Amino acid sequence: MSEKTTIYDIAKELNISAATVSRALNNNSKISKSTCKLVMETATKLNYKQNKLALALRSGKSNNIGVIVPRIDSNFFASVIRGIEEELYPNKYNIIICQSHEDEQREIENINTLLNAQVDGILMSISNVSSENDRIIKRVVEKNVPLIFFDRKKNIDGVSSVTINDFEGGYIATKHLIDGGHKRIAHLSGNQSLEIYENRFKGYKQAIADNGLDFNEDYVLQARSNVDAGIVAAKSLLKLKTPPDAIFSSSDFAALGAIQEIKEQGIRIPEDFCVVGFGNEPFTKFMELSISSVDQSPLEMGKMAAKVFLEQINNHENFKMEKKVVLMPELHIRKSSSKSSI
């Protein structure tokens, strides 16, 4: 009972050939109704399950796709993965998850593992932009394994990507603060070597320029994406001779830390100081002092990445296709930046 039954078992039982069984199982047109029915019956009787491994080996299609994320236990990445899964499930693809832990070496290992496992495609958010992983990424492209970047991308020929317009995100967040009457707006940025943070920063700068404000380099600090970094950053900003009166943070966590520190120093939010974050993490709307934040629509991003993959895989021609999808970010205005909604 614990033995796996194969098409040969069914064939033997019925005194027919394995090929016929295979055909019947696959609803091949030219099989008599009777044998087809017989095969189906014995299949269920013997509790037959198709071995996808054998099928994959033969067809060269594993029906697995690999997803590489820096870490899975962040709301953003988990939501993207959910989106991917929901889009791919009806298409019979399984998802193999890898975490790079922001480590480039690990990322390369992940890609190799996935390639060895013969995945039909790789969807990834890169951890880092060094030239080290360029080589292997190019190899993926050469092997004609569809590769799609989401959120954190890299510009490489033949590689599609699904991102949000981070520039726009930075722009609308900053513009919102300017509209609120703020003139000294600081910016907490992430690792600028990543396009996403660079673009959010550029959007911020552009909004500043477009509205006749002065760009002040002292107002731009780098802060990792956690609460403590936000606290540290806010501390140093508030120590300036002319401290800012608002912050646009590239990270919700840093925004939270900044808010904590600002309130700690007796400054009122949003009356005296406003803050806007980025990412729309669940906690931003749960806070009593809810935090305004730019939403990245991770679910949609995941679905879109999956869709692009499907297009690519179904593009049987041998011309390479490269698609760049850019989603629009949406600013969710909450208490941390709206004096009216107090």
| Smallest separation, CB 224 to its own copies (Å) | 16
Structure tokens that stand for 194 in this block: 């990543």
- C-beta of 18 vs 141, nearer to DNA: 18
Partner from its own copies, DNA, none contacting 62, C-beta within 5 to 8 A by type: its own copies
Find the binder of its own copies among 12, 41, 86, 240 (CB under 8 A). 86
Q: What totals of helices (H) and strands (E) does the chain contain, helices first?
A: 13, 12
Q: How far apart are CA 95 and CA 72, in angstroms?
A: 13
Find the binder of its own copies among 12, 37, 139, 339 (CB under 8 A). 139
| Smallest separation, CB 276 to DNA (Å) | 52
Q: Concatenated DSSP letters for 277-340? A: EES--HHHHHSSSPPEEEE--HHHHHHHHHHHHHHHHH--SSS----EEEEPPEEE--GGG-GG
**Interface of this chain with its own copies, residues 144 to 173, rule: CB under 8 A:** 144
Size of the site for its own copies (CB under 8 A): 51
Binding mask 221-240 for its own copies (x = CB under 8 A): ------x-------------
CA distances for 161 relative to 187, 226, 244, 268, 286, angstroms = 27, 27, 36, 41, 32
Gyration radius (Cα) of the chain, Å: 26
- C-beta of 4 vs 324, nearer to DNA: 4
Partner from its own copies, DNA, none contacting 148, C-beta within 5 to 8 A by type: none
- C-beta of 118 vs 222, nearer to DNA: 118
Which residues here bind DNA, judged by CB under 7 A? Answer: 4, 6-8, 15-20, 22-23, 25-26, 28-36, 48-51, 54-55, 57-60
Find all residues with CB under 8 Å of 98, minimum gap 6, and list them.
66, 67, 68, 69, 110, 113, 114
Partner from DNA, its own copies, none contacting 2, C-beta within 5 to 8 A by type: its own copies
Q: Find out whether 334 and 293 touch, Cβ atoms under 8 Å.
A: yes
- C-beta of 32 vs 211, nearer to DNA: 32
Structure tokens that stand for 15 in this block: 């005194």
| Smallest separation, CB 139 to its own copies (Å) | 7
Binding mask 247-266 for its own copies (x = CB under 8 A): ---------x----------
Of 240, 232, 226, 143, nearest in space to 184 by CA: 240
CA distances for 152 relative to 77, 149, 196, 228, angstroms = 11, 7, 6, 24
| Smallest separation, CB 156 to its own copies (Å) | 16
Only one of the segments 210-218, 268-276, 281-289, 323-331 lies at the binding site for its own copies (rule: CB under 8 A); that segment is 281-289
Q: How far apart are CA 320 and CA 157, in angstroms?
A: 9
185 three-class SS? strand
Partner from DNA, its own copies, none contacting 157, C-beta within 5 to 8 A by type: none
160 three-class SS? strand
Chain contacts with its own copies (rule: CB under 8 A) = 1-2, 4, 47, 49-54, 56-57, 62, 64, 71-75, 78-79, 81-82, 85-86, 89, 94-99, 112-113, 115-118, 139, 142-144, 227, 256, 282-283, 286-289, 299
